[in-house]
Amino acid sequence: MHKKYSISGKGFISFVKDIIIWDLSGGVIYQLFLCGLVLIMMLGVYAYFLQFNSGLSVTNMSDIVSWGFYIANFTFLVGVAAAAVMLILPAYVFKDRDLHKVVIIGEVVAVGALIMCLLFILVDLGNPLKAWHLVPGIGILNWPSSLLSWDIIVLNGYLALNSFIPFYIVYSHYHNRVPDKKKYLPFVFISIFWAFAIHMVTAFLYEGLPARAFWNNPLMGPRFLASAFAAGPALISVVLGAIHSFTEFNIESRVFRKLRLIIVISAIINLVMLFSEIFKEFYTPTHHSRSAIYLFFGLDGYDALVHWIWTGISMNIIGTVILMLNPGRKNPLINLPAAVLLFFGIWIEKGMGLIIPGFIPSPLGEIVDYTPSWVEISIAFGILSFGILVVTLLVKPALIIEQQFEKQEEMATQLIHT
């Protein structure tokens, strides 16, 4: 290990100090990467400033399409957040050693995704200064009646769980202690169930609205799970690939192989369910199929989503097929572009392709198009950059500490043997 990444002392203060120092030190490319993220964030902050002052009228949302790009991204990122469970489950329950080494990266990606989710909800509020009305005690949380109140609870809970577990482990390793399983394993198991909960509840948010036939579909929850368990591990593979290629940390190819398997299975299940939905909408098109017709073919000359959804589905299918054929048998990094393709395919499908058509046509049959305004796009990219920044700044120190701990352990075992 490089000299500059050495642990300087004990206690919480030196822990934080070391993390900051490690985060800020790095090569030119790393620094440029951070600066780029900060620049995009600043654009986002500026756009939000405009939105805050003049209201949501600077977006392209309307009384008919009343949720747009923000909620679309929110919905998709919930999926990414829950994907950590696809590493946690094998790592802790089936005691998979390879995945255990990278499980922390999954958890950090989840933290980043959750922070982005909560920010997307916040920027979508018309009256963000009154957000405290949601806090039980000082405000009123309409639980259990409102599904949105459920969602707020499960998202925050999952964020707490996924922050606590890795923090505890890394903090113990920093002090060269073996973390006490009794203290964190119960939370690991809770977090596994919780990951399913954040999916199902977010799906129920839409599924529970008879007013919107396009969403009022019992397959919504299961499809959420399947697509997330494809998109999430796909993203984690890409992150691992980046760590493997751009840093001195080595990720074993066995990890990529296992992730590929998870992705392929989930993606196939997702496609089967998509096919079942398409069959229902188009074999006997009813009035309730008008949203789907709008999405896939356009309605009365309005077709803003048509090219999105076909691009999304093509990327989805191509990505799945490539990963199935597995050209990267020898070098798993070759599979990564396919993972990227699949990830963005699901992003389109689970984001814009799911949220917008729910509103079109309106309950009174009116059709309008929606494309995000530059303010919406800037704010969204600002939030995404912030998420990437959070993940970067958390993953880096975590990996350093983990590696140093491993080395210490190795040395200790060697000592015992000699």
Partner 1 sequence: MDVFKNRLKEKPFGRRAFLKRFAMAAALSSSASATGCIGLLQNDDRFQLKWKEYFKNNYRLMTPQEKEETVERLERLAQIEKHVDIQMSSKSPVDGVLFGYAFNLTRCEGFMECVTACVKENNLDRQTHTQYIRIFEMEPGGMSPETGDGKYFHEVPVDHHFYMGVQCFHCENAPCVRACPTKATWKEPDGIVVVDYDWCIGCRYCMAACPYYGRRFNWGAPKVPNNEMTQKQHYLGNRIRPKGTMEKCTFCVQRTRAGRLPACVEACPTGARVFGNLLDPDSEIRFVLKHKKVFRLKEDLATDPKFWYFVD
Name the residues that contact partner 1, by CB under 8 A: 54-57, 59, 61-64, 66-67, 121, 124-131, 133-134, 139-142, 145-149, 152, 205, 209-212, 287, 358-359, 361-366
Q: Which helix (H) or strand (E) holds 325?
A: helix 306-325
Q: Choose between 124 and 281: whose C-beta lies nearer to partner 1.
A: 124
Q: How far apart are CA 75 and CA 71, in angstroms?
A: 6
- Positions of E strands within 118-267: none
Give the relative orientation of helices 181-207 and 147-174 as an angle to the nearest 10 degrees: 150
How many angstroms separate the Cα of 121 from the Cα of each of 110, 223, 377, 383? 17, 22, 15, 11
Task: Select from 383, 393, 389, 384 the least CA-distant residue to 122.
Answer: 383
Give φ, ψ of 139 to 5 degrees. -120, -155
Whether 116 and 386 have beta carbons less than 8 Å apart is answered as yes
Q: How far apart are CA 154 and CA 168, in angstroms?
A: 21
The residues near 48 (Cβ < 8 Å, ≥ 6 apart) are 123, 379, 382
Give the relative orientation of helices 97-124 and 374-417 as an angle to the nearest 10 degrees: 160
- Whether the bond between 128 and the residue before it is cis, its omega within 30 degrees of 0, is no
- Positions of E strands within 192-312: none
Residue 8 buriedness (CB in 10 A; 0-12 / 13-18 / 19+): exposed
Tokens of residue 250, six digits: 């080595």
- Positions of E strands within 55-192: none
Min dist. Cβ of residue 285 to partner 1 (A): 15
Residue 302 neighbours by CB distance under 10 Å: 15
Query: Sign (positive/negative) of CA torsion 398, 400, 405, 406?
Result: positive
Residue 336 neighbours by CB distance under 10 Å: 19
Tokens of residue 375, six digits: 């303010």
Min dist. Cβ of residue 131 to partner 1 (A): 6
Whether 110 and 158 have beta carbons less than 8 Å apart is answered as yes
Min dist. Cβ of residue 126 to partner 1 (A): 2
Q: Choose between 42 and 131: whose C-beta lies nearer to partner 1.
A: 131
* Alpha carbons within 13 A on the beta-carbon side of 133: 8
Give φ, ψ of 180 to 5 degrees. -80, 115
